[in-house]
Structure 1
Amino acid sequence: MRQFFLSTLIFAACAGGLVMTKAHAADEPAKDAKKPAEAPTKGEKKPAETAAKDEKNPAEESRVKTDANGNTVIAVDDETQKRIGLKVEPLTATELTPEVKGYGSVVDPSPLTVAINDLATAEAAYNASSKELERLKTLKEQGNASDRVLQAAEAAAVRDQLLIQSAKDRLTLAWGKAIAEQKDLPEFVKLLTSLDSALVRINLAGGENLDSNPTSARILKLSGNPIEAQFLSIATTVDPQTQGQGFIFIVKNNEARLRPGEAVTGYLKVAGEPIKGMVIPREAIVRSEGKGWAYVQTGETVFTRREVPLDHLIEKGWFVTEGFAPNDRLVVAAAQALLSEERKGLIKAD
């Protein structure tokens, strides 16, 4: 009997434990359902936020794009155009005298000064010796001068005359006939040494020659406007580095204060048919990526940025023969602001 009672007690204890286990398992989902969702950790974005950010504004995406030619195109509404003061003007066709590009420098007039002083010294010596010869000839006729003295005077006069010719030859060989035959050489040199005028030598590339002499040239410093120069002569020597033909020009009014040794670029005006093209004004140029650019209005609110070659500067701007056409509506005011709008559009699109 006792054994039966003990077995019943063990069975009841096992049954009770099974019931408690099932009850505990049923409570777990309810607790999980009541438990609030865990907050995202720092730096972790909520799903809704991520979706909102990934969903880009179509208007911003299309504000800056690239056309079929690879040019950047930006859409700018009327309000923004007024705010930045944007202004456009139609391009007009123009013609330019044919030019050949060369490089050179401002000539140091010091050697020319030395050569002219040598000539002046020789002329002064000959002036004195020739007068002494005439005086001795008169004395000889009067019987007051010996043949020996007269012969010495004649030799001195001939020597000094040869020194004049030698000085002239050296001057012509070094500087050319156009300089050597200046009407007033001392005044010519004085203007050069005082920087009131300047001599410029422009060399062409090796192997490049002109069929005729240039009429004039536009001289460009590293900065500033082009300077007009008159053709003076062909250089008497070939540039030892480029082996190119050289030309000497004179800037009679040196307001730009060209200085000896200063590097310059020269555009030599030559005979030939005029070159047709357009002039992009300075105020229309913006610089980016190491290049020059200008904006053309290609729609009511659409502007295309086109590259401008910066290799043909004239007084009013940059002369171009391609990339632009007459009547293109060129942005001539607020071009830099337009470039800023373009960059802002790219940032927003990203």
Structure 2
Amino acid sequence: MWHLDSHAVMTGSFASGQQIKMNSSQRILLWIVSVLAIVAALYFLSPLLDSLVPAEKHLVDDHDDNDSDDEVENHQFALSVELTEAAQKMASIESQTLMESFYTPEIRAMAVVIPTRELQLAHSRCSEAKMNLRMAKVNQQGMSKELSRLKTLQQATGSVASKEVNYAQTNLSLAQAESELKQQLVDNCHAEVRQQWPQPVADWIINGGEQFNLLMSRKQTLLKVTLPPKQSLSQRVDTLRWQQTNQQHNVGQAQRLAAAISVDPVLSGETWFFLNKSSSLQEGAKLQVWVPTEQGAFSAVLIPYQSVVWYAGQPWAYLRMDDQRFQRISLLNGHDSVEGIYLQEGFHPGDAVVTSGAQTLLSEEFKWQIHDEDDDDD
């Protein structure tokens, strides 16, 4: 009984081992078939996957475009500020509508009002020399008449000794030499003036007259204008516009006279003299001047100087977008002039530019950067 049971157990164990061996072989075969099926599927489906790549790329590009648009929108939002109408009233925010203007490009240069003392000293020196010359000539004429009288008496009556005639001749020769010397001094003074001052300024100094008196009475002033390096004054330019430094409303025009005899010792640009027929300038004052160029006029809008605020080293102005929002626009590419900054982009005719309270808007725009004293990081 025990032997039969042992044989049965052994027979059963052998059968189980065969089954386990067969199941392992089947699993290996099944794994190989699965791998081959996956490879085949990838081979046949690869064209379909390739056709899907552009669409995915397009989706990525669209996403990048959206990011770019978001950056632009965020950038514009960063340059704008919103202020309630009540707050605008308290800050005296005012704006004006821009109109189309035509601007002729100008060169920005520097000028100085010539002190009348320089002209007066030169005029006085030459006037004194001419007066001395006239006195010498009067003395010469007197000596000449005395010599003629003595010669006449000597020939008529013989009552005049030759010694007196010779003495009168010597005095006349000395008077002639004195006159020649005085004449040379006058010529030297005139030459010195003409070497320092161009025509017609030199003639005014030498001869005096009405124009010289207008300068001396400060009813008119003489401007010395120095152009920027490598810039030249066009022959067609007869007038320029000047503006007194830090006084935007003190402006005027000056008429070209002539090029200076010598260049400015500090600045290396061309130097010219202009006549200002206004009496509102102080002697020695430094001015900003705008000299027209040969370029043609172009269409633009004029941004007044009271609209300009400075930030990050460049000029800006605020565009009123609606009742409560304002946009900060760069004026870096604008053209400076006496009236303001002419701009061809950023602002357009019909836009409203802030003319009062722009600094308040700039402060409000960066208000978030101000540390709140109530916030305690500790």
| TM-score strictly above 0.5 | yes
Shift of residue 305, structure 1, vs aligned partner: 0.5
1:211-264 deviation per Cα after TM superposition (whole angstroms, max 9, x unaligned): 41642333344311343233232111022333321012233434243x42x443
CA distance in 1, matches of 2:104, 2:150: 72
Matching residue of 2:133: 126
Counterparts of 2:319 and 2:210, CA distance in 1: 52
Per the TM alignment, residue 201 of structure 1 is displaced from its structure 2 partner at its CA by 1.8
What is aligned with 1:235? 260
Q: Which has the larger radius of gyration?
A: 2
Contact 1:222-1:264 within 8 A present in 2 as well = yes
Q: Secondary structure at the match of 2:366?
A: helix
Q: Is residue 155 from structure 1 mapped to residue 177 from structure 2 by the alignment?
A: yes
- Give the Å deviation of 1:173: 1.0
Residue number among 299, 305, 314 corresponding to 1:291 in the alignment: 314
Contact between 1:213 and 1:270, CA under 8 Å: does it hold in 2?
no
- Residues 133 and 264 of structure 1, relative CA distance in 2, 3 Å threshold: same
Task: Provide closer, same or farther for how the CA distance between residues 94 and 205 of structure 1 changes in structure 2, counting only shifts above 3 A.
Answer: same
Q: Distance in 2 between matches of 1:153 and 1:269?
A: 57
For 2:55, the equivalent position in structure 1 comes to: none
Structure 2: how far apart are the matches of 1:336 and 1:85?
Answer: 11
Farther-moved stretch of structure 1 (236-245 vs 293-302): 293-302
* Percent of aligned positions that are identical: 21
Matches within 5 A, 1:17-32: none
1:155-190 per-position Cα deviation (integer Å, ceiling 9, x unaligned): 222222222222111101101122111286387667
Contact 1:312 1:320 in 2 (8 A): no
Return closer, same or farther for 1:269/1:158 CA change in 2, 3 Å cut-off: farther
Q: CA deviation at 1:134?
A: 2.4
The answer as to 2:90 corresponding to 1:67 is no
1:92 Cα deviation after fit: 1.1
| 1:240-290, Cα deviation, whole Å (9 max, x unpaired) | 333321012233434243x42x44332224555335432212332233334
Match for 2:190 among 165, 168, 186?
A: 168
Q: Which of 295, 298, 319 is 2:342 aligned to?
A: 319
After TM superposition, give the deviation of residue 197 of structure 1 in Å. Answer: 4.6
Match of 1:305 in 2: 328
1:208 is the counterpart of 2:215 = no
| 8 A Cα contact 2:103 2:297, kept in partner | yes
Cα pair 2:140 2:179 within 8 Å, conserved:
yes
Shift of 1:302: 3.5
| Conserved 8 A contact 2:260-2:273 | yes
Tell me which amino acid in the other structure corresponds to 1:185: G
Q: Verify the 8 A CA contact 1:205 1:245 in the aligned structure 2.
A: yes
- Unaligned runs of 5+ residues in structure 2 are 1-72, 152-164, 372-378
- CA separation in 2, counterparts of 1:160 and 1:213? 43
**Are 1:65 and 1:74, in contact at CA under 8 Å, matched by a contact in 2?**
no
Change (3 A) 1:204 1:73: same
Letter in 2 for 1:74: V
Matching residue's letter, 1:208: Q
Higher normalized helix content (fraction of residues): 2
Provide the TM-score with structure 1 as the length reference: 0.66
Go from structure 1 to structure 2 and tell me whether the alpha carbon gap of 1:240 and 1:338 turns closer, same or farther (over 3 Å shift). Answer: closer
Instruction: Answer yes or no: is the 8 Å Cα contact 1:282–1:317 preserved in 2.
Output: yes
Tell whether 2:257 aligns with 1:248. Answer: no
Could you tell me which amino acid in structure 2 is paired with residue 205 of structure 1? P
Equivalent pair of 1:212/1:270 in contact (CA under 8 Å): no
Q: For residue 199 of structure 2, what is the aligned residue in structure 1? A: 177
Q: Which amino acid aligns with 1:338?
A: L
- 1:287 partner SS: strand
Match of 1:21 in 2: none
Flag the 1:341–1:213 CA change in 2: closer, same or farther, 3 A. same
User: Does structure 1 retain, via aligned residues, the 8 Å contact 2:106–2:337?
Assistant: no
2:247 is the counterpart of 1:224:
yes
Paired residue for 2:150, among 136, 140, 143?
143
The amino acid that maps onto 2:259 is I
Distance 1:238 1:251 in 2: 21
**What amino acid sits opposite 1:312 in the alignment?**
D
Q: 1:166 to 1:335 in 2, by over 3 A?
A: same
SS of alignment partner, residue 89 of structure 1: strand
Q: What's the Cα RMSD here?
A: 3.6
